[in-house]
């Protein structure tokens, strides 16, 4: 039987630095490689050369989660190097668990912002990382 159910945000768990981040609002991560055509005789590329891989992303978290991270970094996120696991699925509900591991996370910016009418401070934490391992077993 074919199951077309997609994962929902409530099926996502972020473990950052060994801690379950319950105030997570958003998770984004991207792996990009540079590709450059190699030209020779004629108009068309002879081959495609592969360059460096870049990994970037961001987490959106509640202010309380930010404060915990700031405490761990002794007042600055820029002092931290963390690993993260992003888990999709709920095995207790019969779903297959998928885990992506992001290694060597370095945060690049810390910004706090709240405005009139906001009921909570949600903070975006952009990062660069060393490696992503998709579908870790």
CATH number at residue 19: 2.30.110.20
Q: What is the CA radius of gyration of the chain?
A: 19
**Residue 2 maps to a domain:** no
68-127 pLDDT tens trace: 999 999 999 999 999 999 999 887 777 888 999 999 999 999 999 999 999 999 999 999
**Residue 19 maps to a domain:** yes
18-28 pLDDT tens trace: 999 999 999 99
**Residue 37 maps to a domain:** yes
Q: What is the model's pLDDT at position 95?
A: 80
CA 137 to chain centre: 18
What burial class does residue 67 get, using C-beta atoms within 10 Å of its C-beta: 0-12 exposed, 13-18 middle, 19+ buried?
middle
Confidence of residue 3 (pLDDT cuts 50, 70, 90): low
What ranges make up the beta strands (E) of the chain?
12-16, 19-20, 24-38, 47-62, 82-88, 98-107, 122-129, 131-133
What is the residue range of 44's domain? 10-133
Q: Residue 93 — φ and ψ, nearest 5°? A: -100, 10
**Residue 5 maps to a domain:** no
Q: In the chain, how many domains are there?
A: 1
**Residue 3 maps to a domain:** no
**Residue 49 maps to a domain:** yes
**Residue 120 maps to a domain:** yes
**Residue 66 maps to a domain:** yes
């Amino acid at each position: 039987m074919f199951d077309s159910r997609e994962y929902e945000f409530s099926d996502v768990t972020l473990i950052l630095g060994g801690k379950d981040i319950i105030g997570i609002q958003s998770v984004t991560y991207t792996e990009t490689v540079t590709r450059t055509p190699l030209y020779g005789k004629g108009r068309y590329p002879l081959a495609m050369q592969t360059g460096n891989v870049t990994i970037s992303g961001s987490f959106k978290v509640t202010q309380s989660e930010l404060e915990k991270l700031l405490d761990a970094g002794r007042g600055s996120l820029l002092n931290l190097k963390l690993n993260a696991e992003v888990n999709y699925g709920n095995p207790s509900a019969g779903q297959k668990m998928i885990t992506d591991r992001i290694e060597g996370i370095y945060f690049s910016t810390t910004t706090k912002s709240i405005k009139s009418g906001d009921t909570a401070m949600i903070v975006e934490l952009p990062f660069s990382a060393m490696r992503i391992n998709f579908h870790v077993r």
